Amino acid sequence: MERETLEMDVVFVGAGPANLSGALHLAGLIKRHNEAVEKGQRQGKSLGEIEIGVIEKGASVGAHILSGSVMDPRALRELIPDFIEQGAPLESPVKEDYCPPVVPGRLPPC
Ligand SMILES: Cc1cc2nc3c(=O)[nH]c(=O)nc-3n(C[C@H](O)[C@H](O)[C@H](O)COP(=O)(O)OP(=O)(O)OC[C@H]3O[C@@H](n4cnc5c(N)ncnc54)[C@H](O)[C@@H]3O)c2cc1C
């Protein structure tokens, strides 16, 4: 049997928010390092092209995230400051957060 192989320098297993953020952050660190070395602002060697892979067992990225209706955008803004301009699929900003009290015998309201 012939198996396809892909050479990678770094592999993140699972394409959830944590690993996607990690992969993006690592790519940014490498890019900034290489630029600083090229401009002579940092000593050391350029890392060149680092192959970063993210593998996911679900059929697509996000397939195994059960929900995602409400998101605190602070971390995403740090990683991708222009995520709104880039077309993040957001429906509306959260203006308030309210959860009614739990009533015994009823399902939790939220
Ligand atoms: C019902 C529910 C509702 C939620 N609603 C919200 C919400 O509204 N807002 C919010 O901010 N958070 C919500 N969360 C929480 C949010 O989903 C998690 O905090 C977040 O997904 C955690 O991210 P993660 O990257 O750590 O892990 P995950 O999102 O779990 O990502 C892990 C990924 O790794 C993959 N994986 C695992 N093992 C392997 C393997 N061996 N090989 C390849 N891939 C693998 C999985 O398929 C998965 O895609 C909710 C969670 C649940 C369960």
Phi and psi of 52, rounded to 5°? -110, 125
Counting every residue, how long is the chain?
A: 110
* pLDDT of residue 87 exceeding 80: yes
Is 62 near ligand 1, meaning CB less than 6 Å away?
no
Query: Can you tell me the mean pLDDT for 33-37?
Result: 98
> Is residue 22 lining ligand 1, measured as CB closer than 6 Å?
no
What is the average pLDDT value for the chain, to the nearest integer? 91
Query: Average pLDDT, stretch 78-107?
Result: 89
Q: What residue owns the CA closest to ligand 1's atom 50?
A: 67
Q: Is 94 in the pocket of ligand 1 (CB under 6 A)?
A: no
What is the per-residue pLDDT for 77?
94
pLDDT exceeds 70 at position 66: no
**Ligand 1 pocket residue status of 61, Cβ below 6 Å:** no
Query: What are residue 13's phi and psi, to 5 degrees?
Result: -100, 110
For residue 69, the ligand 1 atom closest to its alpha carbon is 8
